[in-house]
Amino acid sequence: MKHDLENENIDILAAEYVLGTLSQDDRQWVADRAQQDNDLQQAIDRWQAHFVGLNEYVTDERPRADLLADILAKIPAQSESEVRTLGRDELSLLRQQLSRWRRLTFASVAMAACLLVMLVINPFTSTSPESPFVAVFQADDQQPAFIMSLNLETRALTVRSVTAKNPQGKTYQLWIKSDDIGPNPRSLGVLGSVVEPIHKQVDFDANIIRHATFGISVEPEGGSPTGLPTGPAIHGWLYPTEI
């Protein structure tokens, strides 16, 4: 059976997924599709990179107990017979209106979120000649494991843990992969303790760095004994932080 969101624009779909405006069933459908659709997964990664700074400024909030009752009280009552008289044309119109309302809701939330990100990252200051790039390392459809920011002008990068913990008896190792530097990934060093942000310098050409794939693998203490990733790895790609 064809899903209602199947013809949705991928970028809008990814943004709705990241912003949390989809229903639970629709969100699960998008997560399942992203595992098979690389374009959708990369669009999700881009939106997560845009909004990554918001997580630090948002706290969980439980709705008050009587909120649902208040919402239901404001919905005009309809008798069962009135509902049954809705024909196909009326149902089609309602679906179109629902889709339009959902897009308007998304647009409003997205614009507000973009504005907030701009204020959080760079409040009322001029942008630098070389805006930083961000990569999101995510193992599932929940919160990212790591966030990496990189300035192409200075080639300085910072890796921050979001949900990742120090693996017992193991260590994380950062890698870069590009056809321009060879067939195998190159190590950028072990990450050590991920409790604090980790800073490193990348000694490759800026154009290579911009289009490379980055990876973080789990390795024995001291790093990979082979010079190549030996344990489970997650990957990320650089996206500009400009909105």
Residue 107, pLDDT > 90, answer: no
pLDDT tens for 185-225 read: 999 999 988 888 899 999 999 999 999 999 999 999 999 99
Average confidence (pLDDT) over 20-43: 86
Whether residue 147 contacts residue 197, with contact meaning beta carbons closer than 8 Å, is answered with no
Q: Where in the chain is the domain with CATH 2.60.40?
A: 133-240
Cβ atoms within 10 Å, residue 11: 14
Mean pLDDT computed over every residue of the chain: 75
Sequential DSSP letters for 138-182: -SSSSS-SEEEEEETTTTEEEEEESS--PPTTEEEEEEEE-GGG-
Q: What residue type is assigned to position 141 of the chain?
A: D
CA distances from 145 to 1, 26, 70, 135, 194 (A): 34, 23, 38, 11, 11
Beta partners for residue 135, in sequence order: 148
Which helix or strand (DSSP H or E) is residue 115 part of? helix 88-121
CATH topology of domain 133-240: Immunoglobulin-like (2.60.40)
Question: Poorest-confidence range of 114-123, 161-170, 185-194?
Answer: 114-123
Using pLDDT thresholds of 50, 70 and 90, give the confidence band for residue 177.
very high
What's the pLDDT at 164? 86
Calculate the CA dihedral of residues 164, 25, 47, 140 and round it to 10 degrees.
Answer: 20
**Distance between CA atoms of residues 34 and 104, nearest Å:** 24
Whether residue 127 contacts residue 110, with contact meaning beta carbons closer than 8 Å, is answered with no
Question: Poorest-confidence range of 75-84, 105-114, 170-179, 186-195?
Answer: 105-114
